[in-house]
Amino acid sequence: MAAETVAYPIKRRSIRYKIDVPLRVILHKTDKTVIREGRGKELSEHGVCVMVGVELVVGDEVEIEFTPPYSGEPIRVVSTVRNREGYCYGCEFLPEVQGNQHVNMRLLQALQGFAEGKSS
């Protein structure tokens, strides 16, 4: 008797929004700080997908800074690299890090702006 397989859609914790915004990835090493320009490709309330020309490994803690298109003030949030494909990194925001709670409201406002199409 053959087993029947059922396809289940991948469940995400939150909605992802396709974006295309410039951003900075800041990596603090023991002997220096590395800052690289990149692009944000997807954004959710829990993380962001970034494309940046720097070697990161899963588990690296980085700061990600971007300015939503409709706002003049940049958002900087501490994140950890959760996955990697080439130079495309999935980064999860770390809400428990000091200062990240302050930016959570701004992130939610940015997501609302993307949901309403303010990014165009």
CATH number for the domain including 83? 2.40.10.220
Would you say 90 and 47 are in contact if contact means Cβ atoms under 8 Å apart? yes
In 29-111, beta strands by DSSP E: 33-43, 47-52, 61-66, 75-85, 88-93
Average pLDDT over residues 116-120: 55
Q: Is residue 80 domain-resident? A: yes
List the domain range (segments joined by +) for residue 57.
17-115
Q: What does residue 106 show for φ and ψ, rounded to 5 degrees?
A: -70, -35
Q: Cα 2 to the chain's mean position, in Å?
A: 42
pTM of the predicted model as reported, rounded to 2 decimal places: 0.78
Residue with the larger pLDDT of the pair 9 and 14: 14
Q: Is the model's pLDDT at 33 over the cut of 80?
A: yes
pLDDT digits (tens, 9 = 90+) for 61-112: 999 998 876 667 888 889 999 999 999 999 999 877 656 566 677 777 777 7
Model confidence band, residue 46 (pLDDT cutoffs 50, 70, 90): confident
Q: Is residue 40 domain-resident? A: yes
How many domains is the chain partitioned into structurally?
A: 1
Q: Is residue 120 domain-resident? A: no
Q: Is residue 5 domain-resident? A: no
Q: What does residue 108 show for φ and ψ, rounded to 5 degrees?
A: -65, -35
